A = this chain, B = another copy of it.
Amino acid sequence: MPERGRPRSFDRNAALESAMQVFWEKGYEGASLADLTAAMGINPPSLYAAFGCKEALYLEVMELYSRTIGMEIWSSLETIATIKEALNGFLLATAKAYSQPNQPHGCLIALGGLHSGEVTKPICGAFCKHRADSIVKLRQRLQRAVAEGELPASIDAEAIATFYATVQNGMSILARDGGDYRALKHVADGAMAAFDALTGR
């Protein structure tokens, strides 16, 4: 029975996507309600009725980002069978996503919540959780490779995962500074150049 009362005159998903663009480019504090409502094509009361408040909207934007853009980037890590190619595909997908011409450069998750004065506590917590999860995903993929006999059990999976997650985060800053796909690929190649030495092959 959600069909009572005046129907909403805008597409909630489209509005959320517009909000994502604004937050992605301008950050949480940098995106004003005026910026958001202008991009979403609605007035403040509609925003508050549909999303609660600015903070709740941002948290929902983070979920949308990791469900769409994030998925594009991370999927190759799981789908590619061999660990070295999976990591390489993951980094190249990162380079491609971070240099798309029609969207803000770099990652919304990597670049957000880096200054305590610019974010609320729940948002800071969500960022910590998401970024910590990046390391976990990489570590689990490395451990899978060990379980499959592809890598020796002697590797430091946590250290290697931290390294690749950190390289990816650095790529967000490079992309924000105008680094194109070519520059980002140089970084990916550099990180892959460490693979054999790190995994003892």
Residues of A in contact with B (beta carbons under 8 Å apart): 25-27, 29-32, 35, 106, 110-111, 114-119, 128, 131-132, 156, 158-160, 162-174, 176-179, 183, 186-187, 189-191, 193-194, 196-198
* Interface contact A27-B173, CB-CB below 8 Å: no
* Interface contact A117-B27, CB-CB below 8 Å: yes
Smallest beta-carbon distance A195→chain B, Å: 8
Residue numbers in B under 8 Å from A156 (CB-CB)? 186
Smallest beta-carbon distance A121→chain B, Å: 13
For the complex, what is the distance from the CA of A115 to the CA of B35, rounded to whole Å?
Answer: 14
Task: Name the residue of chain B whose CB is nearest to the CB of A164.
Answer: B190
Task: Name the residue of chain B whose CB is nearest to the CB of A113.
Answer: B176
With A29-B29, A166-B167 given, is the CB distance from A173 to B117 under 8 Å?
Answer: no
For the complex, what is the distance from the CA of A110 to the CA of B166, rounded to whole Å?
Answer: 13
For the complex, what is the distance from the CA of A35 to the CA of B194, rounded to whole Å?
Answer: 44
* Interface contact B117-A30, CB-CB below 8 Å: yes
* Interface contact A118-B168, CB-CB below 8 Å: no
* Nearest 6 CB-CB pairings of A with B: A30-B117, A26-B117, A170-B170, A163-B190, A27-B115, A194-B194
* Interface contact B193-A198, CB-CB below 8 Å: yes
Residue numbers in B under 8 Å from A27 (CB-CB)? 114-115, 117-118
For the complex, what is the distance from the CA of A151 to the CA of B196, rounded to whole Å?
Answer: 21
Of B31, B131, B190, which one neighbours A198 at CB under 8 angstroms?
Answer: B190
